[in-house]
Each structure stands twice: as structure tokens, then as C-alpha cells.
Structure 1
Amino acid sequence: MSSESVFSMFAILPMILVVVYGLFILMGLYALYLIIKFLIRAIAALDIYLEEKRNGRF
């Protein structure tokens, strides 16, 4: 193995890690978006449920 190929491998490795870290950050942000969207719907459903219970419909 020549010294030039070793140096190019060490130059490429940090770029690959940056891409992987970026993908993990994007997946985390998307998961956060989905959780917030779910919680908003859950709160709305709970409001509807409580309103029905207060009016004695069930």
C-alpha cells in the first residue's frame, strides 16, 4: 500500500462521517416533527373526548 493511498483514505473518512452525522441529525429532526404532529393530534382527540364526556353523550 502506497503512502498516497493511505493519506487519501484518511482524507475521505472524515467526509463520510460528516455525511453520516448529517443523516442522523436529519432523521432526528424528522422524528421530532412526527412526534410533535402526533402530540397535537392526541391533544385534539383528548379535547374532543373530554367535551363529549362533559356533555353526557356517552
Structure 2
Amino acid sequence: MQTASAFGFFGLFIYLGTLAIGIYCLILFIKLARRGIKALDIYLNKHNDRGDYRDGM
């Protein structure tokens, strides 16, 4: 009975570890998306100031 209980805790640790890694990856993805949006804003503002960027045409 003790061996089965140990395997239960082992599965719980794997589950919690996977959950923690998933949350960490989500945070990294959000940071990456925010940097991408910021870079796109800088790019568009740079081209708007020079007149290179036209409204869809």
C-alpha cells in the first residue's frame, strides 16, 4: 500500500511541475508579445514621420 501511495505523490509532483512550467511559458509568451507590439509601434511611427507608410495604399 505504501508503494502505491508513493506513486500517487510522484504523479502529483509531475502534474504540479507541468502546471508551473505552463504558467511560466505563458508569462514569457506575454512578455514576447508585448515587446513585439512595442517594436511594431516604433516601426510604424518611424515610417509615419518620414511619410513612407501610407494608409493601406
> What range describes the TM-score normalised by the shorter chain of this pair?
0.7 to 0.9
CA distance in 2, matches of 1:21, 1:40: 29
> What is the number of equivalent residue pairs in this alignment?
52
Aligned to 2:10: 16
Aligned letter for 2:14? Answer: V
Q: CA deviation at 1:8?
A: 1.1
* RMSD (CA atoms): 1.3
Return the TM-score normalized by structure 1: 0.84
Between the aligned residues of both structures, percent identity stands at 29
Return the TM-score normalized by structure 2: 0.85
Unaligned runs of 5+ in 1: 1-6
Higher CA-based Rg: 1
4+ long deviations beyond 3 Å: none
